[in-house]
Amino acid sequence: MTAAKPLRADAQRNRDALLAKAREIFDAGSFFDLRFDDFARLAGVGTGTLYRHFPTREALAEAVYHEEVATLCDRARQLQATLPADEALATFLRGMVDYLHAYQGLARTLATLMAAGSGALAEGSRALEQAVTDLVAAAVRDGTVRDDVGAGAVMMALHGIGAAHDRPDWRAEADGVITLVLDGLRRPRSTAPA
């Protein structure tokens, strides 16, 4: 498989403008309210440019999602490289709650696309799960996290948090769920025999 040819500078600017506008519209929660052609006008590019980069609304949403996942995975690697393993895991999970709170519109859009069976979204989800797996595995090796709970359980908790974003006290409850997850993952201190 050959790597994609890098875009010309003007084409990259146009693509970036479309992605930035899509993110903004996600945040406003109106991604599905706009005609697809309106993205071009709002981003300041031609309709042909929109379709050249993103032939469908779903392709645009998936591109935003892939960029977001790459950023989150980079963040996980950065935390793992700079913090003790248990702190890296806790910081990443608490950061995920911040992220889900800040980008609720994106989360709702992605949930809609995921329900439609988007394979590209499943691929991104696997990359994010691998990042969490790496963080959990590092904490297990470090001896701070128990070894009988896998990253899949952590991902289920994150999915549950994201799915419940319409609850009135979502933010406080989401922070509470992360605290429960972290407490549940913590390796129990062994007691010395009497």
With tokens 């084409």, the residue in question is 11
Average pLDDT for 141-145: 94
Neighbours of 40 (CB within 10 A): 21
Question: CA-CA distances (angstroms) from residue 8 to 5, 11, 14?
Answer: 9, 5, 10
Residue ranges of domains in the chain, CATH in brackets? 9-55 (1.10.10), 57-185 (1.10.357.10)
Average pLDDT, integer, range 156-169:
87
pLDDT in tens, 20-35: 888 888 777 667 778 8
pLDDT in tens, 48-58: 999 999 998 88
pLDDT of residue 25: 83
| pLDDT > 70 fraction of the chain, expressed in percent and rounded | 84
* Three-class secondary structure assignment of 91-139: HHHHHHHHHHHHCHHHHHHHHHHHHCCCHHHHHHHHHHHHHHHHHHHHH
Given a cut of 90, whether residue 190 has pLDDT beyond it is: no
Q: What are the pLDDT digits (tens) for 65-74?
A: 888 889 999 9
